[in-house]
Amino acid sequence: MTTDEQLFDAPISPVMAEVVSSHRADPYPVYRRYRETEPMHRADPGMWTLTRYHDILAVLRDDRFSVDPRKATALAELREEALEAAGSGGVDFMGNAAGTVLLFTDPPDHTRLRNLVNKAFTPRTVERLRGHITELVDGLLDDVTGRGEMDVIEDLAYPLPALVICELMGVPLEDRDLFRGWSGEVAPILDPWLPPEKMQAAMGTLGNFALYFLGLIEKRRQEPQDDLVSAMLGAEEKGEKLENDELLALCILVFIAGHETTQNLIGNGLLALLRNTDQLRKLAEDPSLAKSAVEELLRYDSPVQLTARTATTDIEVGGETIREGEMAVVLLGAGNRDPSVFEDPDRLDITREKTSVLSFGAGAHFCLGAGLARLEGQIVFNELLKRFPSLELATDEPQWRDTITLRGLQSLPVRWK
């Protein structure tokens, strides 16, 4: 198996096969068709694909569903075959990460690990960053103002969250260029059935992350600072059980998750606004709409499109029974366009009455950095429209990245007068 289409073979997930093969730029018509005709789709050897809002929410909130991929017994044979076909290039990242990486760890270990980083992302802590993030955005926009054009991803959406996360974690200013491109190279790991060559490339970059953060952790052991790494080490010293591999995994996850979701929110959100100029003008005329605008942009084109859970017992969802060991892939992007929850869901409306979007998940694994991503998005959209009121797309076909789980643009050229 060498191509994305082969890896999303029809017996496994026809929904994602269609998205990968020909609907990457706009997966929502595919989602709509499955939501209307087969919202609880089961494919051998034991994978369900869910597209309705309430079914997705039920899975995410039910602690009988596990995030540990090792519990997906129905897919164990498939994973073994994929690794065997990959030969020496095969890496079972999900299996190796379970129990160490927050994303693939169930309570009580998940609760213990999450508590170590929660304080850095409380609403009060995040709000304190508003002024500094605004300064960072203004500085990035100063760099491009005289050009009359920019690539939003390269010049703004990529560097901003990288700067914010580096500062939170205490990465020295002189080291920050080392991270350029790293999170994007690792992001494909979250896609199911990744081709071996892509997996190997991502694992190589993970090695770079590990080497850097191992060094930073050791420096903070010797000289603690006012940063997240020092705080996690301090918690360890106060009796929290935190193994070195857990601390390292937390550092890498916080960086990648904090960077990728915000980058995609900015890129996807701005593209949606530029394609819906009435909403763009509405936000430009009333900056107080930024908060509701970000919620709507998260709903309209979610930075995270899917996640997965495994049933630890037989569980009824949406009128179907998901058997123990079977996996439920929940399509967050599809749930966010469910007409039973969102009126006229394919229309962008930044004044839409608030309904909880699925973009950051739900339940115990709700994204801990959601508040920070939202704040960065609010500031970016307001500052952009204030600085460049004539902002417009400079291409008819923006370039999308290859990743499926994390949906985002590779490039977004814009211009202004």
What does the alpha-carbon distance between residue 119 and residue 405 come to, in Å, rounded to a whole number? Answer: 27
- For residues 410 and 233, the model is more confident at 410
**Pairing outcome for strands 327-331 and 47-50:** parallel
Q: Is the pLDDT of residue 195 over 80?
A: no
Which of 331, 19, 409 shows the shortest CA–CA distance to 5?
A: 19
What pLDDT was estimated at residue 183? 80
What pLDDT was estimated at residue 386? 96
Mean pLDDT of the region 57-70: 94
What pLDDT was estimated at residue 326? 94
Domains contained in the chain, number: 1
pLDDT one-digit tens code per residue, 276-303:
999 999 999 999 999 999 999 999 999 9
- For residues 244 and 297, the model is more confident at 297
Query: pTM here?
Result: 0.89
How many percent of the chain have pLDDT more than 70? 87
Q: Per-residue confidence at 82, pLDDT binned at 50, 70, 90?
A: low
C-alpha triplet 66, 311, 114: angle, nearest 5°: 10
What pLDDT was estimated at residue 81? 57
What pLDDT was estimated at residue 216? 93
Q: Is the pLDDT of residue 305 over 70?
A: yes
**CATH code for the domain in which residue 379 is found:** 1.10.630.10
pLDDT one-digit tens code per residue, 385-411:
999 999 999 999 999 998 888 999 999
Mean pLDDT of the region 175-190: 80
Identify how many contiguous H helices and E strands the chain contains and give both numbers. 19, 12
Which of 230, 252, 234 shows the shortest CA–CA distance to 165?
A: 252
Mean pLDDT of the region 54-61: 98
Q: Are 389 and 277 in contact (CB under 8 A)?
A: no
- For residues 372 and 117, the model is more confident at 372
Which of 236, 134, 215 shows the shortest CA–CA distance to 169?
A: 215
Q: Which domain holds residue 279?
A: 4-415
Mean pLDDT of the region 110-124: 82
What does the alpha-carbon distance between residue 192 and residue 274 come to, in Å, rounded to a whole number? Answer: 31
What pLDDT was estimated at residue 12? 52
Quote the longest CA-to-CA distance of the chain.
Answer: 61
The DSSP letter of residue 59 is: H
What does the alpha-carbon distance between residue 269 and residue 249 come to, in Å, rounded to a whole number? Answer: 29
Q: Is the pLDDT of residue 17 over 80?
A: no
Q: Is the pLDDT of residue 4 over 60?
A: no
